[in-house]
Structure 1
Amino acid sequence: MEKLIEIRDLVVKKNGRRIVDFQGKHIVINKGDKVALIGENGAGKTTFINALLNDVNYEGEIKRSFKKEDIGVVFQGNAYSDLLRVYELIDLVIGIKGDHLNNFLNEFSLKSLYKSYIKDLSIGEQQRLTLALVLYRQATVYLFDELTSGLDYQKREQLLELIKKRTQESTVINITHYFEELDNWATKIIILKNGLVLFYGGITELFRDFPHFSLVQTGCPVNSLKILKETYKLRVIDLSTPRLTKYGIICNNNEQHKLVTDYLSDNNIEYSLCYQNIYTCYIGLAE
């Protein structure tokens, strides 16, 4: 396979603290790879992207088999002048006319927005416009940072379809918190925590390195799970947020899964199930 990016011993420091620390790690991204970069806020994901773009100082080695102009980048926020209309930005960035322009507007569903001021567009409409401009020129490598954050399910699906269609031959590195976006698309996973690489490899390797049957999730008080944790020695993970109490129980096999679900059902405790997937592996590795 043709290597596009090769990374060795990457370290990025800020105020003497290591924001990204891949010391001892060798990461290879090949032509056509679809790489999911996942981790909690502050894990170092955006800093890693900035290092790939050569926009921050770093130690170690990054070999790139392409030029910077061959990269298409879409970040979560896009700053546009309040005075610009959609058609003016399109003309400024890609300068297409006639049939090419009509085809472009139709493909990215921009026709109804053509004469609008960009400041008047919704978040989803602005993201679609930015994505259209970036995808139009068919870059070698695409870097997407929280592209669909803040969008509803339907708008996220629409953007993802455009991305998948336009990037079939390209290499993609995608930062996302939506794990369902990665199913049947990502070929490699990089999991970061506190700037460190917890995992790098393919989906099959991820499932092999963290074998388990399911993740059972519940919002009940942790005391209700005490018997599962202490008597049956099951792993109970705190998945709570400031607004939501939530715990996950890792079940390594079907027997443990049945034990947990029977216990919760017998005690009238509501729960939801996730069988082994990228999300459950991430929870098990990162927590």
Structure 2
Amino acid sequence: MLTIKKLSVTFGQNVALEIDQEIRFEENDRIGIIGSNGAGKSTLINSLLGIVPYKGDIQTNLTPRDMAVHLQENSYSNNVSVKLIMETILGTKLKANKELQELIAYFDFDKCLAKRFNKLSGGQKQRLTLILVMLQKADLTFFDEVSSGLDFETRQILMTKLTNWYSQRSGTLCVVSHYYDELEKLTNKLLLLDKGRVVAFGRLEELFSQYCGYSVITVEDTPVTKTFFGEYRQLKAPSQVLALACHNQEDERKIVNLCIQSNINYKRRNNDIEIMTLNAKGSEEVSHG
């Protein structure tokens, strides 16, 4: 579908993106793109869409009409109803378009149709843009921080609907997000960027195995637990979390038994994107140290 052979983007003297390994987007991939601010996430999307100039080789049989994009910030006219905005942008009438009616019902957006855009809440504005993007049924769709600025409950509802919708439909998705739980729900591959370079790219289970092991047992990080589990490999983890790498099922069994015998609360993880990302970046720092 789309292959990045080599890609370089510069703004003045600053290198915003430098990809020197092959990145392939396959049909029906669900690719999460993650990285800190300035990592090159939006620059990558803009390059693939042809919005910013770049040097390199992007091979694809897709045309701009085969792609759709949901941007972080979207603004529409406040002088007309949301219904008219939809019909104008999509070039269709609501009454004549059953798929549009289905999406409006799916996102519980019916009561918003008569409102002006500036009267919508943050979550309602996101739903409007999602409906406009999803109705295109593009071969390749980009979602750039789709739930940015929303409260926790609204974000959870929105992501659940988005996940369920695409679980029954084809098309390749590229999801830019700094929320690990969103990526775990929506994606099966991960592209990790840092300072404009690729740290890791691959299927989630493969990357987890590479950087974390068979599984990870997490407990509260205290002086006692750090000493208690000192013989086991300790991974980089969020603050107040001690992450213990299990190389195989036997390692996992030993650590779990120790937790049970010592009355230590624990969690087993085999797909934790946050812990995997921290250790992938740590590995990259060591290799360039």
1:80 aligns with 2:76: yes
The one-letter code of the counterpart of 2:6 is: D
- Which residue of 209, 212, 215 corresponds with 1:213? 215
- Kept after mapping to 1: 8 A contact 2:233/2:244: yes
1:55 to 51, 55, 62: 51
CA distance in 1, matches of 2:259, 2:52: 51
Deviates more, 1:176-185 or 1:65-74: 176-185
Pairwise CA distance, 1:261: 8.6
Structure 2: gaps of 5 or more residues: 283-289
- 1:178-235 CA deviation, whole Å, 9 max, x = no partner? 33334475332212222221222223432442324215153x56x5565368x53633
CA distance in 2, matches of 1:46, 1:90: 26
Query: Could you say which residue in structure 2 is the equivalent of 1:10?
Result: 7
Q: Deviations over 1:38-69 (max 9, x none)?
A: 22333221111111111222222112211112
**What amino acid sits opposite 2:245 in the alignment?**
C
Displacement of 1:95 after TM fit?
A: 3.3
The offset of 1:19, in angstroms, is 2.1
Q: How far is the alpha carbon of 1:12 from its aligned partner? A: 1.8
Deviates more, 1:249-258 or 1:77-86: 249-258
Shift of the alpha carbon at 1:34? 1.6
Out of 93-102 and 122-131, give the one that drifted further.
93-102
Contact map agreement 1:236 1:247 (CA 8 A) in 2: no
Contact 1:213 1:257 in 2 (8 A): no
Superposition pairs of residues 90-239 of structure 1, within 5 angstroms = 90-97=86-93, 98-100=95-97, 102-149=101-148, 150-151=150-151, 152=153, 153-165=156-168, 168-183=169-184, 185-210=186-211, 211-216=213-218, 218=220, 220=221, 227=227, 231-232=230-231, 234-237=233-236, 239=238
* In 2: Cα distance, 1:118 partner to 1:261 partner: 56
Judge conservation of contact 2:192–2:200 (CA < 8 Å) in 1: yes
> What is the TM-score normalised by the length of structure 2?
0.80
Matched residue of 2:236: which SS?
strand
Q: Is 1:283–2:283 an aligned residue pair? A: no
Aligned with 1:18: secondary structure? strand
Q: 1:102 to 1:59 in 2, by over 3 A?
A: closer
**Where does residue 33 of structure 1 map in the other structure?**
29
Kindly provide the amino acid, as one letter, of the partner of residue 126 in structure 1: K
Between Structure 1 and Structure 2, how many residues are aligned? 271
Identity %: 25
1:284 & 1:255 partners in 2: Cα distance?
19
Provide the rounded CA distance (Å) in 2 between the counterparts of 1:15 and 1:126: 35
Structure 1 distance, partners of 2:18, 2:260, is: 41
Partner of 2:286: none
Q: Output the TM-score relative to the length of structure 1.
A: 0.80
Unaligned stretches of 5+ in structure 1? 241-245
- Give 1:144 deviation, angstroms: 0.6
Residue 285 of structure 2 is matched in structure 1 by: none
**Cα distance, 1:94 vs structure 2:** 1.4
